[in-house]
């Protein structure tokens, strides 16, 4: 028993004793004491100690010796700690956050205590960049300060301290993205998501003309919440030292060659494409555990020549043969290699090799494009990245350059528009001054304003200079956005100029489709103008007009009309003022009224507006011609087709002459004319115009632009009307992809889905059509909600497809509900309700419920008649349905009445739309009616025409045509026998 030390003997008994009461415990120990007094003594000692110990040692070393452990860590921190408490520039160092090759990173705070701000301060090793750094920082600070993005750590300050450059950044508590992925075993999908966030942040910086140049895992932190923050934006550029030749060479010093792009190593210009490469590298490393190249051994010239020859191994291949340690370094398991490789193969391989191309111009055109492709991957759609073929390279080269040209053209247009307004005002003011001999000072002030505007615009252009923007041609969009941002604060000493420009930018934003910003700038302009002492009433009205224009774009028509009328009222009082401003407001108001369907007043206003432009700027002016074109649209809607065509063509001629046939503005002219020609039955002339429109817009605006989608959709509709169903479907699909890309809930997404569903129905694919309509019903339920009539109208379409498949009871139930809802939403006598009644009546007729069918069709016909006009398609449809229902009744008077309605229907269709899908049905009903009345000649004639037309409009298998053909042949057969 005494072989083991007492503690080892005690350990099996002691815990049980410790749980007993002292008295019970002592009883047990006394028992033990009889055999083993050594153990008993040990137990007594332990028991006493246990009772006295409290939570002794339970808190671990940290609880036992907290100050010692703190001291331990503190003492181990080297010299950096010595700087704690000292100041760098206006910042006091609080603690050390880390150390790296470049220097140390501290947590810091404002030394003057002016405001509380927790920041990270990077103190770099002394270097050549130091001397001019402060100056360069001040030059860049406005740009950098504008980098507001939730995923970018803002750069707050920079300079040198005692020869050491430093930067101050927003403090981020997180770990580098590679460690984050490793430690948390982040899935490949989530890694893709993280990279997408990075791409979006980088793209946002690029839009503000800042290129990172030094993207690598240690610059991309992920917080505990999974938020991504990009560090050090703009720092690499600040540290860049310009050589005499203007080539930056610094990167060698600052950058680790591992993460540098080929162009950086080769001393070629750094552009936004450099960051695309950096993002590609980070992503590559996150999914393979290694970089696509090994640059560790080479230096200097050898490095450069290696880079020239560098090829990027496909990620899937790299991962398949990766070392376990490399994979483990990013939290991937070696045994998953095979699975990983197959995940990467294909789309991700293609995306990575596109991002990592040696030549910057062959990479993704932007970080957003990279992100889009990754999103497509996540959504399971094919990515846009393509294998690197010569043809593809050429295509892409052309596309990129065209993009640049188009952006430059737009920019120029914006500039001219901005200047035109002010120079015109200056001219105007001069004229006024002379006439009234009022004040030369006024003219001078106007001239000064024009100069200020010029300066501002030139300033914008300088930023757009590729050298300053990092090599990428700046898009017009980015430029205008920047102009708007700058105008919020700049030029506030010149409030009138500021307001003028805000209005101009508001209109440009409006035309670019950025309606919220358009409204915001216009409202700001109004505020500025109202604050003037005394306020210039006319100028305030001008600002209001811009607000109204933005409201129109947002579809808030009533509000827009009110604002514009208010503006117009004031401006008309100041008729001596800017006549074009008045004309512009009239045109804006005309547009609102046009959209509200008040066509007569819209036409009047548009005409006055056009006349004013013609007088002020001449008939040949671009703006005059555009106002003329808009008049054409209104005339077309008023069904004054001759006038509409004439006006549209003469506007087109002027614009073509002034802008050239490829200008983006021409697309609208061609589209307007195409619609007119189509309506006039000249489809052959219309078709090439549609194609031309799409081509121009694709080239000028990019393939994914909203306007391209609109043109495609109109063309698809045209093609459907022309029974070119296959191409129509292709165009609808293209349009659908564009709208979905812009916003999956875009209303036009629904329009395209509807078009596709109707196409399927046209082609006799009712089951496909049914499922498409079901999808659409779900879409409208979500996007429009149950109070919108479209939501119910598409259910009507759905029911039609169901009925076409013979499921009449199911269709009837839906149709009854649709009628009920539409009566409430649109009124009992609306066109929508009438159509729903017609369709329900049709189903009831087919089910044999003739009485109710006739009653409903009568109601529908009455409503259609009230809709006005003797000849519209709704009337034709209602007449047909009533006629068809009556024709099935046995009484002779019903048959007589049926004949009347069917003849009216046929006549209307022949007149309005000879290829209408309903016409064959009307003819079949008419033929049957004739046959039942013994008029076999009429029956044969109608059925023959139905078969002929039906074969043209429907697929050969269409049951209506098949049946009609059978009836026709039996008629002919019988007549042949007789």
Partner 1 sequence: MIGNGGTGRDQGLSGVPRAADPRPITALLRAIEAGDAAALDNLFAIVYEELRRIAQRQLAASGRRRTLNTTAVVHEAFLKLSHGLPWSLRDRFHFFATSSRAMRMVIVDHARSRGRQKRGGGRPELSLEDNVAAIDLQSDNVVALNDALGRLEASDPELARIVEWRFFGGLSVEEIARALDVSERTVKRHWRTARAFLYEELARGGFGA
**Rule CB under 8 A: which residues touch partner 1?**
5-8, 10-11, 14-15, 18, 45-50, 52-53, 56-58, 60-62, 64-79, 81, 94-101, 105, 107, 176, 182-183, 185, 218, 231, 324-325, 328-329, 331, 333
- Closer residue to partner 1 in complex, CB, 72/952: 72
- Closer residue to partner 1 in complex, CB, 323/657: 323
- Closer residue to partner 1 in complex, CB, 324/767: 324
Q: To the nearest whole angstrom, how small is the minimum distance from the Cβ of residue 248 to partner 1?
A: 24
Q: To the nearest whole angstrom, how small is the minimum distance from the Cβ of residue 501 to partner 1?
A: 43
Q: To the nearest whole angstrom, how small is the minimum distance from the Cβ of residue 479 to partner 1?
A: 35
Q: To the nearest whole angstrom, how small is the minimum distance from the Cβ of residue 123 to partner 1?
A: 12
- Closer residue to partner 1 in complex, CB, 334/417: 334
- Closer residue to partner 1 in complex, CB, 16/600: 16
289: its two tokens: 């555990």
Q: To the nearest whole angstrom, how small is the minimum distance from the Cβ of residue 223 to partner 1?
A: 14
How many other CB atoms sit within 10 Å of the CB of residue 663? 17
Task: Report the alpha-carbon distance of residue 637 to residue 643 in Å, rounded.
Answer: 11
Q: To the nearest whole angstrom, how small is the minimum distance from the Cβ of residue 88 to partner 1?
A: 16
Q: To the nearest whole angstrom, how small is the minimum distance from the Cβ of residue 115 to partner 1?
A: 19
75: its two tokens: 């003492």
Exposed / middle / buried, residue 458 (Cβ in 10 Å: 0-12, 13-18, 19+): exposed
- Which residue do the tokens 């509807």 mark? 754
- H runs (alpha helix) in 54-166: 60-64, 66-76, 130-145
Please say whether the beta carbons of 693 and 650 come within 8 A: no
780: its two tokens: 């409208």
689: its two tokens: 């115009």
- Nearest Cα residue to 255 out of 201, 215, 283: 215
77: its two tokens: 């921190």
- Closer residue to partner 1 in complex, CB, 95/576: 95
968: its two tokens: 């026709």
- Closer residue to partner 1 in complex, CB, 71/361: 71
- Closer residue to partner 1 in complex, CB, 78/466: 78
- Cα separation of the two ends of the chain: 129
Q: To the nearest whole angstrom, how small is the minimum distance from the Cβ of residue 359 to partner 1?
A: 32
Options 178, 214, 232, 373, the catalytic residue = 214
Name the phi and psi angles at 888, rounded to 5. -85, -10
Q: To the nearest whole angstrom, how small is the minimum distance from the Cβ of residue 232 to partner 1?
A: 10
* Partners of 122 in beta bridges: 105, 167
Task: Report the alpha-carbon distance of residue 717 to residue 166 in Å, rounded.
Answer: 62
Task: Convert 748-796 into a string of H (helix), E (strand) and C (coil).
Answer: HHHHHHHHHHHHHHHCCCHHHHHHHHHHHHHHHHHHCCCCCHHHHHHHH
Q: Mark whether 161 is an active-site residue.
A: no
Please say whether the beta carbons of 96 and 73 come within 8 A: no
- H runs (alpha helix) in 531-663: 537-553, 557-573, 579-596, 599-617, 622-637, 641-659
Catalogue the E-assigned strands of 81-239. 87-88, 91-100, 103-110, 119-124, 155-161, 164-170, 174-176, 220-223, 228-230
Task: Report the alpha-carbon distance of residue 693 to residue 718 in Å, rounded.
Answer: 13
- Closer residue to partner 1 in complex, CB, 190/442: 190
Active site residues: 214
């Amino acid at each position: 028993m005494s072989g083991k030390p007492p503690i080892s003997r005690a350990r099996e008994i002691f815990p049980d004793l410790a749980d007993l009461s002292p008295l019970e415990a002592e009883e047990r120990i006394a028992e033990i004491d009889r055999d083993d007094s050594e153990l008993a003594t040990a137990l007594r000692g332990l028991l006493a100690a246990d009772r006295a110990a409290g939570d002794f040692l339970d808190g671990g070393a940290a609880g036992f010796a907290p100050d010692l452990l703190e001291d331990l860590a503190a003492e181990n921190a080297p010299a950096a700690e010595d700087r704690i408490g000292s100041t760098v520039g206006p910042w006091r160092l609080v603690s050390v956050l880390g150390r790296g090759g470049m220097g140390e990173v501290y947590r810091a705070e404002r030394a003057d205590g002016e405001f509380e701000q927790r920041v990270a301060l990077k103190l770099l090793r002394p270097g050549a960049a130091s001397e001019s750094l402060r100056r360069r920082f001040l030059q860049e600070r406005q740009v950098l300060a504008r980098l507001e993005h939730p995923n970018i750590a803002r750069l707050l300050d920079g300079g040198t301290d005692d020869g050491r450059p430093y930067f101050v950044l927003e403090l981020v508590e997180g770990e580098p993205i590679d460690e984050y992925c490793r430690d948390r075993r982040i899935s490949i999908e989530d890694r893709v998501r993280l990279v997408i966030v990075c791409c979006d942040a980088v793209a946002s910086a690029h839009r503000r003309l800042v290129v990172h140049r030094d993207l690598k895992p240690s610059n991309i932190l992920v917080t505990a919440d999974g938020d991504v923050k990009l560090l050090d934006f703009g720092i690499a550029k600040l540290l860049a030292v310009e050589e005499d030749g203007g080539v930056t060479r610094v990167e060698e010093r600052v950058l680790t060659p591992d993460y540098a792009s080929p162009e950086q190593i080769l001393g070629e210009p750094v552009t936004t494409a450099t960051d695309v490469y950096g993002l590609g590298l980070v992503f590559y490393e996150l999914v393979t555990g290694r970089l696509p190249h090994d640059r560790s051994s080479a230096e200097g010239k050898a490095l450069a020549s290696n880079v020239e020859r560098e090829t990027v191994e496909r990620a899937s291949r790299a991962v398949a043969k990766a070392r376990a340690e490399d994979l483990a370094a990013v939290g991937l398991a070696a045994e998953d290699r095979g699975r990983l490789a197959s995940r990467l193969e294909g789309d991700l391989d293609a995306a990575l090799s596109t991002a990592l191309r040696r030549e910057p111009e062959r990479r993704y055109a932007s970080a957003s494009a990279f992100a889009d492709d990754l999103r497509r991957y996540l959504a399971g759609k094919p990515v846009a990245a393509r294998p690197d073929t010569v043809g593809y390279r050429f295509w892409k080269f052309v596309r990129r350059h065209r993009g640049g040209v188009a952006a430059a053209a737009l920019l120029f247009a914006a500039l001219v528009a901005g200047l035109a307004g002010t120079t015109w005002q200056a001219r105007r003011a001069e004229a006024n001054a002379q006439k009234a001999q009022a004040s030369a000072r006024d003219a001078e002030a106007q001239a000064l304003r024009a100069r200020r505007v010029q300066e501002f615009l030139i300033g914008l252009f300088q930023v757009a200079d590729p050298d300053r923007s990092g090599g990428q041609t700046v898009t017009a969009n980015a430029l205008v956005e920047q102009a708007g941002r700058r105008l919020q604060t700049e030029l506030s000493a010149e409030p009138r100029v500021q307001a003028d420009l805000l209005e101009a930018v508001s209109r440009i934003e409006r035309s670019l489709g950025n309606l919220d910003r358009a409204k915001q700038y216009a409202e700001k302009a109004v505020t500025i103008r109202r604050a003037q002492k005394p306020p210039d009433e006319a100028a305030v009205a001008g600002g209001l007009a811009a607000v109204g224009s933005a409201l129109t774009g947002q579809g808030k028509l009533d509000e827009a009309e009110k604002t514009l009328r208010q503006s117009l009222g004031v401006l008309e009082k100041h008729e001596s003022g800017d006549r074009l401003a008045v004309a512009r407001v009239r045109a804006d108001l005309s547009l609102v009224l046009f959209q509200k369907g008040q066509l007569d007043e819209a036409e009047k206003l548009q005409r006055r507006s056009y006349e004013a432009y013609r007088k002020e700027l001449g008939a040949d002016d671009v703006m005059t011609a555009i106002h003329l074109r808009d008049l054409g649209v209104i005339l077309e809607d008023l069904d004054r087709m001759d006038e509409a065509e004439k006006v549209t063509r003469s506007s087109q001629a002027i614009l073509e002459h002034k802008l050239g046939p490829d200008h983006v503005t021409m697309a609208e002219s061609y589209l307007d004319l195409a619609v007119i020609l189509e309506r006039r039955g000249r489809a052959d002339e219309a078709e090439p115009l549609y194609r031309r429109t799409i081509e121009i817009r694709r080239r000028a605006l990019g393939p994914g632009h909203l306007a391209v989608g609109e043109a495609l959709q109109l063309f698809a509709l045209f093609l459907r009307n022309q029974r070119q169903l296959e191409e129509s479907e292709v165009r609808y699909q293209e349009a659908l992809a564009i709208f979905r890309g812009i916003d999956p809930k875009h209303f036009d997404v629904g329009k395209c889905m509807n078009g596709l569903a109707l196409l399927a129905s046209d082609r006799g694919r009712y089951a496909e059509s049914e499922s498409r309509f079901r999808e659409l019903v779900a879409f409208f339920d979500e996007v429009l909600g149950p109070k919108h009539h479209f939501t119910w109208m598409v259910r009507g379409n759905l029911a039609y497809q169901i009925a076409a498949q013979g499921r009449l009871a199911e269709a009837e139930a839906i149709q009854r509900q649709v009628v009920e809802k539409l009566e409430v939403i649109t009124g009992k006598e609306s066109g929508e309700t009438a159509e729903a009644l017609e369709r329900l009546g049709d189903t009831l007729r087919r089910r044999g419920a003739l009485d109710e069918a006739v009653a409903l069709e009568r109601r529908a016909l009455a409503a259609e008649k009230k809709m006005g006009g003797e000849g519209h398609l709704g009337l034709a449809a209602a007449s047909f349905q009533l006629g068809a229902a009556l024709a099935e009744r046995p009484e002779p008077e019903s048959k007589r009445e049926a004949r009347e309605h069917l003849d009216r229907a046929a006549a209307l269709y022949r007149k309005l739309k000879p290829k209408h899908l309903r016409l064959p049905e009307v003819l079949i009903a008419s033929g049957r009616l004739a046959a039942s009345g013994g008029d076999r000649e009429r029956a044969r004639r109608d059925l023959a025409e139905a078969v002929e037309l039906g074969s043209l409009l429907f697929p050969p298998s269409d049951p209506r045509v098949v049946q009609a053909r059978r009836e026709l042949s039996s008629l002919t057969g019988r007549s042949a026998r007789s």
